[in-house]
Amino acid sequence: MNKTRTKISLLAPIVGFASAVALAAAFHYRILPFLKQDTIVSGGRLVPSQEFADSSARLFLCFAPVCLVLGLAKFYLRRKRIIAKNEK
């Protein structure tokens, strides 16, 4: 068995959650340069950038906790499997 196993980090889901929240804030407050215009092309049609920014921010805020929960579940299951293998 390979003893040089990659360590599992709790930092990855936390960084993913924080990044999604930061992107949601950037979209909500229209900090990104392409959101400064009045309209933006989305899906081949012109959309008001405020509407696009609000829906994108909502999307990021919905997926932020999903990212955190799935990352923590993956961490827990991998950790449990590694401990079970070491006990054998």
| C-alpha gyration radius of the chain | 19
pLDDT score recorded for residue 27 = 94
pLDDT tier for residue 74 given thresholds of 50, 70 and 90: confident
| pLDDT tens sequence across 2-51 | 554 556 578 888 999 999 999 999 999 999 898 888 888 888 999 999 99
List the structure tokens of 14. 């936390």
pTM: 0.76
Closest-CA residue to 28 (of 53, 46, 7): 53
Taking the C-alpha atoms of residue 52 and residue 46, their distance in angstroms, rounded to an integer, is 10
Taking the C-alpha atoms of residue 11 and residue 21, their distance in angstroms, rounded to an integer, is 15
17, 75, 76 from 13: Cα distances, Å? 6, 9, 12
Which residues, at least 6 apart from 83, have a Cβ–Cβ distance to it below 8 Å? none
